[in-house]
Amino acid sequence: MKIFITGGAGYIGTHICVELLQTGYDIVVYDNLSNGSTEAIHQLKTITGKTAVLIIGDIRDEARMSEAMRGCDAVIHLAGLKAVGESVEKPLDYYDNNVHGTLCLLRAMQANNIKTLVFSSSATVYGDPVKLPFSESHPLQPTNPYGKTKLVIEDILRDLYHSDSKWKIVILRYFNPVGAHPSGLIGEDPLGIPNNLMPFIAQVAAGKHKFLNVYGDDYPTPDGTGVRDYIHIVDLAQGHVKALEALSVPQCTPINLGTGQGYSVLDLVKAFSNASGKEIPYEIVPRRAGDIAEFYADPSLAQKILKWSASKTLDDMCRDTWNFQSKIKCVPKSVGK
Ligand code: NAD
Ligand code: UFG
């Protein structure tokens, strides 16, 4: 089978490419490189011995995308903007890239008679927890424009399936993907100051920042700091291969990809310090606006439908992040992103 991967040159996409190539799929990556890297695509050959076709293009360029996906059997749709804070500042960019871009993709798929889709959604669609762990039936009440774009897209996919029951759609709701490929050749190297915890901690360990700001230690959690469900990027990527395999019958199914285990900010600091042998100085600062105290997945549906569960530990996540971070210190920055 040949898989068309929008956003395949980004952090999550490149790791999915590795797993697909290693499983024997052919792949076409379609990415506008706004936050992706051609070098990371080249690293796929080093890791897997196989190559991915890269077509540079925007998902809002429907004609180009339609041409690019000709002959493919299924689509994994990752392309989009993903920064919560930026989405509050620039909501129109987010609705345009994420929602308009997805409409173009779905029309291009229809034109090519491709009706098999795995979509990257996010746990952010749940909003403030009414009940934990988050199961797929939890109310959907995102609290920021980024999350709202994901919910709008999910709703479009549900409506599309109801209009034409030939579609085979899995909506994957990711929890907190972290880590890097164990080779250290691909990973997450955000431009500028990282928004997310794990890349920031990695940069503190690498000496790029003096200390970590811990956003609040007065949450109702065991140590007062925020708790999240961190999932190793390789586990997450393997979940996509399982999702493709599960799409033998028409459906539109949302599925959580998480471990079911929550860890606090201070748990991560401690684990990363152990994995890297570096001290991670931190300071407690006020809460970050919009943050939720605690959330983690109910991963049982993924186990049931995809026959998948996460297998890597927090120590694996920290070790592989540090391995990647250590390599980008001494090779050109472009190797990561
Ligand atoms: P990323 O920014 O590394 O990858 C996204 C890729 O999409 C980039 O390579 C970028 O160049 C490309 N892209 C963006 N807009 C495009 C457009 N209009 N046309 C073509 N290509 C475009 O982000 P990521 O972390 O790999 O996330 C991938 C997907 O997973 C996104 O949809 C994101 O919302 C979702 N997601 C990510 C997280 C996370 O924590 N990383 C969590 C939940 C969901
Ligand atoms: N945190 C700090 N200091 C930092 C960064 C984060 O203390 O410098 C804390 C946060 O307050 C939170 C935890 O670390 O308690 C995790 O924060 P992240 O920013 O790493 O992750 P979030 O859960 O806030 O959000 C991420 C993505 C969202 C996505 C969500 C679920 O940014 O887009 O995971 O997938 F929706």
Q: Is residue 191 pLDDT above 90, yes or no?
A: no
Alpha carbons 29 and 3: distance in angstroms, whole number: 8
Q: Is residue 337 pLDDT above 60, yes or no?
A: no
Let me know: does 168 contact 113? Beta carbons within 8 Å: no
Kindly state if the Cβ of 197 falls inside 6 Å of ligand 2: yes
Ligand 2 atom closest to the Cα of residue 295 is 23
Cβ-based neighbour number of residue 85 at 10 Å: 13
* Residue 329 confidence (pLDDT): 56
Kindly state if the Cβ of 122 falls inside 6 Å of ligand 2: yes
Q: How confident is the model at residue 192 (pLDDT cuts 50, 70, 90)?
A: confident
Kindly state if the Cβ of 215 falls inside 6 Å of ligand 2: yes
Q: Is residue 310 pLDDT above 50, yes or no?
A: yes
* Residue 321 confidence (pLDDT): 98
Let me know: does 46 contact 22? Beta carbons within 8 Å: no
* Residue 331 confidence (pLDDT): 43
Contact residues for 283 (Cβ-Cβ < 8 A; gap 6+)? 211, 212, 213, 214
Alpha carbons 278 and 39: distance in angstroms, whole number: 29
Ligand 1 pocket: which of 4, 17, 120 to mutate (most atoms within 8 A of CB):
120
**Residue 146 known to be catalytic:** yes
Q: What's the CATH number for 2-182+230-259+296-311?
A: 3.40.50.720
Catalytically annotated residue among 146, 174, 219, 296: 146
User: Mean of the pLDDT values across residues 52-74?
Assistant: 98
Alpha carbons 150 and 98: distance in angstroms, whole number: 8
Where exactly are the structural domains of the chain? Answer: 2-182+230-259+296-311
263-304: pLDDT as tens digits: 999 999 999 999 999 999 999 999 998 899 999 999 999 999
Contact residues for 266 (Cβ-Cβ < 8 A; gap 6+)? 214, 223, 225
Kindly state if the Cβ of 12 falls inside 6 Å of ligand 1: yes
Q: Is residue 330 pLDDT above 50, yes or no?
A: no
130-162: pLDDT as tens digits: 999 999 999 999 999 999 999 999 999 999 999
Average pLDDT over the chain reads: 96
For residue 257, what are the β-bridge partners? Answer: 174
* Residue 333 confidence (pLDDT): 42
